[in-house]
């Protein structure tokens, strides 16, 4: 499999020489190993996926459950790759959530939505700028040839097949009734002990998914320093193991200072926001508004073993359901403005705009 060498620094590992014997793991630069988030677009945005040893935090929007989309895809991807999973949630019966996990879409569907830019070379009309868009895209497309896919497209309308769930290492914990976090901390510690990070080759990776960590119905939710201490210890434990932990939390339920502390703990920080229905202002501002389910912001991307920050072209993406089944993330595109109005807009990532009369709609 010939891959074009990614145009990063000369220190990056030559991907072609490292056989990906374990599906679900991808070797990245600086000695990091990625696992997929379960959303192909998110993997691309983050530069490969979630690096092992990192803590991912997702800031929820109280008005919409979009963080569940991220969690579900993350968990499903792990189960498809046979990666053990620890799931904690504030519901009485967390196991029930497993029934809502999506199943990978069939390969027939994958081909039809192939957006490989190399295929678009046939279209050499006016849109020549595509060839200047970063080389980042190329070395990910080469991985599509691999039979055991690193990242699957999950069909949100079909539940995950039973054989993925039964007989797997899935640990479900309810954090509703625990008075403190000691029990959860111990569960995480035992779970992570299965994946110690050492110099020997990696056998498998683990995933931890904690949903709505500071939900008010949990007894410990007013113990702010205890929760922070838990996150710190989770982060330290994950650092020294081959696992990724995803924690979602509603920042509006924390004081601003503590919310910031939580955000600093994260290696990768995302937030999801709801899009109000029937917002005429926004409909005029953005193309494809009707298909959007929500917005995803990337605040921080994990930088393990390196100090070079990742500068993204855009940090806000729209969450759409393609054909009502597959989760895609798209950059925001401004609708063309009427030339008669004199207002100019800032970057396409901002969604605040003044009303204007008459827009051109496709």
Partner 1 sequence: MDQRAPNLLDEALGLVDEEKTKPWPLSSRVVLVEDRVETSGAFVLHHLLKRALSPHSSNDVVVFLAFSQPFSHYDRVLRKLGCNLTAQRENNRFFFLDLLVSEFPDGDEGNRDGLVALYGKIEKLVSTSFQENKKCITIVIDDFSLMEVAANGATNYVLDFLRYCHALTSTFGCSLVVLNHEDIYSSIERPALILQMEYLADILIKAEPLATGLATDVHGQGVLFCESRWCN
Which residues of the chain form contacts with partner 1 (CB under 8 A)? Answer: 11, 30-31, 224-226, 228-229, 232-233, 236-237, 239-240, 255-257, 260-261, 263-264, 269, 299-300, 303-307, 309, 311-315, 346-347
Q: Are 270 and 70 in contact (CB under 8 A)?
A: yes
Contact call for residues 345 and 337 (beta carbons, < 8 A) = yes
Rounded-to-integer distance, Cα 179 and Cα 107, Å: 46
Nearer to partner 1, 121 or 229 (CB): 229
Q: Phi and psi at residue 102, in whole multiples of 5°?
A: -80, 160
**Residue 260 CB, nearest approach to partner 1 (Å):** 5
Minimum distance from residue 31 beta carbon to partner 1 (Å): 7
Least separation in angstroms between CB 229 and partner 1: 6
Rounded-to-integer distance, Cα 85 and Cα 76, Å: 10
Distance separating alpha carbons of residues 359 and 351, to the nearest angstrom: 16
Q: Specify the residue, 27 or 326, whose C-beta has the smaller distance to partner 1.
A: 27
Task: Give whichever of 106 and 350 is closer to partner 1, judged by the CB atom.
Answer: 350
Q: Taking the complex as a whole, how short is the minimal distance between the CB of residue 134 and partner 1, in angstroms?
A: 10
CB of 105 to partner 1, least distance (A): 33
Maximum pairwise Cα distance, the chain: 65
Residues 6+ apart with CB under 8 A from 280: 355
> Which residues have C-beta within 8 Å of that of residue 69, sequence separation ≥ 6?
156, 272, 293, 319, 327
On whether the CB atoms of residues 59 and 249 are closer than 8 A, the answer is yes
The residue among 133 and 276 lying less far from partner 1, judged by its C-beta, is 133
Q: Which is nearer to partner 1, 95 or 260 (CB)?
A: 260
Picking from 200, 236, 272, the residue whose alpha carbon sits closest to that of residue 54 is 236
Minimum Å gap between C-beta 307 and partner 1 is: 5
Judged by CB, which is closer to partner 1: 31, or 179?
A: 31
Q: How far is the CB of 189 from partner 1 (least distance, A)?
A: 10
CB of 41 to partner 1, least distance (A): 19
Nearer to partner 1, 300 or 325 (CB): 300
Residue placing its CB nearer to partner 1 in the complex, 339 or 344: 344
DSSP H helices in the chain? 40-45, 66-80, 107-112, 138-141, 162-165, 182-192, 224-239, 256-265, 280-285
Q: Looking at beta carbons only, is 19 or 309 nearer to partner 1? A: 309
Strands 55-59, 268-274: pairing is parallel
42, 41, 21, 64: which is closest to 246 by C-alpha? Answer: 42
Residue 58 Cα distances to 15, 72, 254, 325, 340, angstroms: 30, 13, 14, 22, 41
Neighbours of 4 (CB within 10 A): 12
Give min distance, CB of 126 to partner 1, in A: 24
């Amino acid at each position: 499999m010939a891959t074009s060498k990614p145009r990063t620094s000369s220190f990056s590992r030559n991907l072609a020489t490292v056989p990906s014997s374990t599906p679900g793991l991808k070797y990245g630069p600086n000695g990091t190993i990625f696992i997929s988030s379960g959303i192909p677009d998110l993997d691309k945005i983050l530069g490969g996926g979630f690096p092992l040893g990192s803590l991912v935090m997702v800031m929820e929007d109280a008005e919409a459950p979009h963080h569940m989309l991220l969690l579900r895809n993350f968990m499903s991807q792990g189960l498809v790759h046979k990666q053990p999973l620890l799931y904690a949630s504030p519901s009485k019966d967390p196991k029930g959530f497993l029934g809502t996990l999506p199943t990978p879409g069939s390969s027939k569907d994958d081909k039809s939505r192939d957006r490989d830019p190399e295929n678009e070379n046939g279209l050499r009309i006016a849109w020549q700028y595509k060839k200047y868009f970063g080389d980042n895209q190329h070395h990910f497309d080469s991985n599509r040839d691999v039979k055991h896919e690193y990242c699957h497209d999950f069909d949100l309308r079909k539940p995950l097949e039973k054989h993925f769930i039964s007989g797997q290492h899935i640990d479900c914990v309810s954090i509703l009734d625990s008075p403190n976090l000691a029990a959860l901390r111990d569960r995480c510690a035992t779970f992570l002990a299965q994946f110690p990070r050492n110099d020997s080759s990696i056998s498998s990776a683990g995933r931890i998914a904690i949903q709505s960590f500071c939900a008010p119905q949990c007894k410990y939710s007013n113990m702010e320093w205890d929760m922070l201490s838990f996150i710190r210890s989770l982060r330290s434990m994950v650092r020294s193991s081959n696992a990724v932990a995803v924690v979602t939390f509603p920042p509006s339920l924390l004081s601003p200072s503590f919310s910031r502390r939580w955000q600093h703990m994260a290696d990768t920080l995302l937030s999801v926001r709801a899009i109000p229905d029937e917002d005429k202002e926004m409909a005029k501002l953005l193309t494809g508004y009707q298909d959007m389910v929500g917005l995803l912001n990337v605040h921080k991307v994990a930088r393990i073993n390196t100090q070079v920050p990742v500068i993204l072209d855009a940090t806000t993406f729209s969450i759409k359901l393609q054909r009502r089944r597959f989760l895609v993330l798209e950059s925001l595109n401004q609708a063309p403005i009427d030339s008669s109005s004199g207002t100019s807009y800032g970057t396409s990532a901002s969604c605040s705009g003044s009303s204007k009369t008459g827009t051109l709609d496709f």
